[in-house]
């Protein structure tokens, strides 16, 4: 356990039909403490490209505004 370190994450609302595909990508997981049918957790450790994070943030904003 000594090599386990905390990482920053971001919860993002997602189109339910797209969640399965995104969760297959490295660094994207079922949303921690959220409705897993509508939310994703994205690691901010460099495993998800910045452009992908921006696209997911845009989608989340549209879904939550």
Instruction: Tell me the fold of 9-64.
Output: 3.90.1150
**Pairwise CA distance, residues 18 & 21, whole Å:** 6
pLDDT tens over the chain, length 65 residues:
678 888 899 999 999 999 999 999 999 999 978 888 899 999 999 999 999 999 999 999 999 98
* 3-state DSSP percent of the chain in helix, strand and coil, to 5: 35, 20, 45
Domain boundaries, the chain: 9-64
Terminal-residue alpha carbon distance, the chain: 40
Q: Pairing relation of β-strands 39-43 and 28-30? A: antiparallel
Question: What CA–CA distances, in Å, run from 23 to 15, 31, 41, 64?
Answer: 12, 10, 9, 20
């Amino acid at each position: 356990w000594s090599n386990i370190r905390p990482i920053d994450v971001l919860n993002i609302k997602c189109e339910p039909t797209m969640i399965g595909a995104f969760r297959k990508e490295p660094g994207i997981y079922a949303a921690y403490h959220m409705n897993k049918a509508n939310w994703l957790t994205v690691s901010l450790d460099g495993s998800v490209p910045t452009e992908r994070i921006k696209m997911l943030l845009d989608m989340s904003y549209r879904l939550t505004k």
